[in-house]
Chain A
Amino acid sequence: MIAGFAARARSLWRGLTRRSDVEAEIHEEFRFHVDARVDDLVRTGVSRAEAVRRASIEFGSFECLKEEARASRGLKVFDELAFSWLDLRLAFRMLRRYPALTVVGGLAMAFGIAAAVVGFEVMTQLVSPRLPLSEGDRIVALQNWLVEESRVAESLRFEDFVVWRDELQSVEDLAAFRTVGRNLIIGEHAESVEVAEVSAAAFGVARVSPLLGRWLDVSDEAAGAPPVLIIGYAVWQARFGGEPDVIGRLVRLGNVPTTIVGVMPAGFAFPVAHDFWAPLAPSMIDSREALPGLVVFGRLVGGVGIEQAQAELATIAAPDAETRPPLRPRVIPYTRAIFEPAIDFWIGVGLGNVFLLMLVLLACANVALLLFARAVTRETELTLKSALGASRARLVTQFVAEALALAGLAFVVGLGVARFGLESFITMTEVVNGASRLPFWVKDTLSSSSVVYAGALMLLAALVAGVAPALMVTRGNYRERISRLTSGGGMTQIGGAWTLLIVVQVAVTVLFPAAAFNFHRWASPDQTMELSFPAKEYASARLSLNVEGPSSFAMSPDMGKIYDELARRLLLDPSVVAVTFSSQPPGAQHQQAWFELDGDSLPGQIPLRSRASVASVAPDFFAALDASVVGRTFLSAEQRSASRVVIVNQAFAKQAFGGRNPLGRFIRRAASRTSEPGPWHEVVGVAPVLGMLGNPGGPGVYFPLEPNSSSQYLLAQQRGDTASFASLLRKVAVEIEPNLQMQDVMPLDEVQANNSVQSRYVSRVLVVISAVALLLSLMAIYSVVDFTVSKRTREIGVRVALGASAQSILAVIFRRTLIHIGVGIIIGALLVVAASSGMFGGLTASEAGLIAGYAVLMWGVCMLACVVPTRRALRVHPVESLKAE
């Protein structure tokens, strides 16, 4: 039994994989037979010519016998399933003959494949990021694990790094980096940049040589060494015009004159997404101080695994261990030190991919419906093919070939769309991340495994879309089918599964745009708000002061003076109308807090707290935004002392005070609903709502701005374009304080736009999906109606002949389709209502009207799909239709 099975498998395998060898052997064996027979005949006295003739006749046709030989080896079914050129040519001819189906079906598959491939690519890049560096998988990072809190320590001490570097044997080229913000000043031009302060040893880790000049050297790290800077290729091109004499150029980082000593090649952004590299000099660092953002990394020594390195690291005691919380150092792959998502993130990514795969299958099911409806119209052809001897397997193969041709087109288009989709997804992620670049190992190109995945999806799509309709159309033996065919009338019916598909589809086309709309509505209170002042005229910039040198020795300059000077100097420029400062610009997401009102609760009762955005603002903030405050604004003196005054906005006054006059009342702030509240503050003013995003309606509370806070926003109203304002701002700022950095300089309307990038992206994706679903529904409805009309041509003819009116004919033909569309729309609308009331606690009359209107619109659009077949049905001439059969 088993031996027999093994023999069959072996023979099958050989027949499939070494087809030409097997054929040659058969031929040779036949030849031998015939020759031997000829010899025998000659020996009996027959002439050679006659012997050859007789032997050939006795043997039979080589080709027929070869065919039989293949069949007896069980290869026939494979021969039938194998595609021939003819199959593919026929398939492409079908694509040309039915352009609507080709475009709609191909697009549906292409979008499905594209979405699934983007999801897959994102997943592979997150799950197994590959460092595009020589032996990138041997690069590791070292971290401290806080045993008691069971989390990674956010900061390391420089001395930890030093101990590891000096003692750890299993990791070589141990290096560290941190990112610091600096003002890069080239001549007159200043810009704020992120510099990687990195150990010279990082060269051994990255193994990338500079394009020009040199990499950092250990001597650069010595105390008193002249400051040096290495720049990236893009910076070299943009700032220095790609000139080779950039080496040796003197620039300033803040107020430190620095020499450019090297240019790195294009694409090099190690350690994460950096364009500037400066030495991580121990002399500039207090080695006992915790350094946030310090990352220690190196290369595993050849032949050492990550576990061995971990084991060795565990034996090295942390410096000063007795005074620190219990630490457990650990070795992890490098990329995980930069980005390590939580477990539910993985689950989300996995589920997302499953969802996308379902989307592909849904698209394929649709294409299957379209192919099925078309196949039914080709029933005569298929039945004839069966009658001429084509087996069912052969016919199914041809269907799959057609679906494969379609899927092949979808594969090509889908990869293009996926490439574009991946780029836009990455851009969106970068904007959401505060316009910073993603790590250098994140690529916006599709990896080969994603292309393979797309190929697999293409085959899956061809099978799903091709096999099901083929099996349904070729059901039963051909004699039955011929008799049904000749007796006229419908034979294959659009079955329950297809009906369900159409209903679901129509429901989806109603649901998805509504979901997009609802999503927008749900996200927008937090992300956009009508601003009462002309946001375009205002620019905001984040100010921060990064001082070179060991932070414990850093002078703490009088920030208040710097800001005052900045405002004074800017106002000297005729284009600047007003300047003010705040902790957050209007239109940005604000920090949230909970507020308790005085006298709002009885003793012993838990006081009510309301949630509101908070911001700290300068006294002239409201005046600069042309906002009139009821009561009074802050006084200059209130900035300096710990004054207990606040200004609330109208939304807060309405929500928390219920319309009573808040002036003179007291409120106190808490970080959460339950945490300990702070001291009481008196409400001294009521301001209009000025874009404090974070809560529906935008309730907010303003505190006086501490002028000495080292990070805050500058707001300036100006005439003229914002671009020139940015350079003016940088120039003035650098003149006052070279270390004062300006980041995110942009008009206020852009601040707001950036908030909603993510939700707009999601809305847009939903709209695209809806559009594809709508297109598919229309196509499906069209096909089904068209199918019905062509199946019932004779019936229509008879009815017309008997004097039926156009109306009654339409009623007969379209009743079912109308019911399907209606059911789909009602289900969709019910889902929309359920989802909206779940999210917003009910619908307003106008929203209900909107949904109803939309449903009617959808119904009308669906009806449009019936127009062409309807005209065809009404034009049926009784005599013609009967003749046609």
Chain B
Amino acid sequence: MIPNILPGTLDLLILKAVSLGKVHGYGVLLRIGRITADGLSVQQGALYPALYRLEHQGLIKSEWGVSENGRKAKYYRLSPIGRKRLNEQATSWNEFAAVIARALSATPQEVQ
């Protein structure tokens, strides 16, 4: 079973996906699938409220362009403050994950 995404991590994944280059909404979804090796399930529609929230906060910017199949599509890219936020969140996530991983690998001897 593919695990559901943890609350609060969708924003981080979107920022990461967008940071890899200009991309439209559907592309963000594909890119998240690729970078997580399809290891997480994202409900497709749920992506958009998150995208708009990030845009509203000024973390990503959008513009209309033409997609690979010649249709009008809205493309997102990371803004300078989005990049800063991504770095901060990546750092704190890594620290958090390390601490949790460390905690979960604890053995009975350690708590003696």
A8 and B48 contacting across the interface, CB-CB below 8 Å: no
A interface, size bucket: 20 to 34
Give the chain A neighbours of B26 by CB distance below 8 A.
32-33, 36-37
- Any chain A CB within 8 A of the CB of B7? no
Task: List the interface of chain B (C-beta within 8 A of A).
Answer: 24-26, 29, 43-46, 48-50, 52-53, 55-59, 67, 69, 71-74, 79-81
- Rounded to whole Å, the gap between the CB of B82 and the closest CB of chain A is 10
- Rounded to whole Å, the gap between the CB of B27 and the closest CB of chain A is 8
Please, could you name 26 A-B residue pairs with CB atoms under 8 Å apart, sorted by A?
Answer: A4-B58, A7-B79, A8-B58, A11-B55, A11-B56, A26-B48, A29-B25, A29-B48, A29-B73, A30-B48, A32-B67, A32-B71, A32-B73, A32-B74, A33-B26, A33-B48, A36-B67, A36-B69, A59-B45, A60-B44, A60-B45, A65-B46, A65-B48, A68-B48, A68-B49, A72-B56
What's the Cα separation between A112 and B1 when bound, in Å?
70
Interfacial residues of chain A within 1-35, with CB under 8 A of chain B in the complex: 3-4, 6-8, 11-12, 25-26, 28-30, 32-33, 35
Q: With A25-B74, A60-B43 given, is the CB distance from A32 to B24 under 8 Å?
A: yes
Give the chain B neighbours of A35 by CB distance below 8 A.
71
- Any chain B CB within 8 A of the CB of A71? yes
- Any chain B CB within 8 A of the CB of A188? no
Query: A6's contact among B43, B55, B58, by CB below 8 Å, is which?
Result: B58
What's the Cα separation between A65 and B51 when bound, in Å?
12
Give the chain B neighbours of A8 by CB distance below 8 A.
56-58
- Any chain B CB within 8 A of the CB of A69? yes
Give the chain A neighbours of B71 by CB distance below 8 A.
32, 35
Task: List the interface of chain A (C-beta within 8 A of B).
Answer: 3-4, 6-8, 11-12, 25-26, 28-30, 32-33, 35-37, 39, 58-61, 64-65, 68-69, 71-74
Q: With A32-B25, A35-B71, A60-B43 given, is the CB distance from A7 to B49 under 8 Å?
A: no
Give the chain A neighbours of B56 by CB distance below 8 A.
7-8, 11-12, 72-74
Give the chain A neighbours of B74 by CB distance below 8 A.
25, 28-29, 32
With A30-B45, A32-B67, A72-B49 given, name 12 new contacts (CB 8 A): A3-B58, A4-B59, A7-B58, A25-B74, A26-B48, A29-B73, A32-B25, A32-B72, A33-B26, A36-B69, A68-B49, A72-B53
A72 and B52 contacting across the interface, CB-CB below 8 Å: yes
- Rounded to whole Å, the gap between the CB of A724 and the closest CB of chain B is 84
Chain B: which residue is nearest A36 at the CB level?
A: B26
Chain B: which residue is nearest A55 at the CB level?
A: B44
Most buried by A among B24, B58, B80: B58
- Rounded to whole Å, the gap between the CB of A28 and the closest CB of chain B is 7
Give the chain B neighbours of A74 by CB distance below 8 A.
56
Give the chain A neighbours of B57 by CB distance below 8 A.
4, 7-8
B52 and A73 contacting across the interface, CB-CB below 8 Å: yes
- Rounded to whole Å, the gap between the CB of B7 and the closest CB of chain A is 15
Give the chain B neighbours of A39 by CB distance below 8 A.
69
Give the chain B neighbours of A12 by CB distance below 8 A.
56
Closest 6 A-B residue pairs measured CB to CB?
Answer: A7-B58, A60-B45, A72-B53, A68-B49, A36-B26, A72-B49
What's the Cα separation between A78 and B103 when bound, in Å?
45
Give the chain B neighbours of A73 by CB distance below 8 A.
52-53, 56
Chain B: which residue is nearest A61 at the CB level?
A: B45
What's the Cα separation between A6 and B59 when bound, in Å?
12
- Rounded to whole Å, the gap between the CB of A3 and the closest CB of chain B is 5
Chain B: which residue is nearest A6 at the CB level?
A: B58
Chain B: which residue is nearest A28 at the CB level?
A: B72
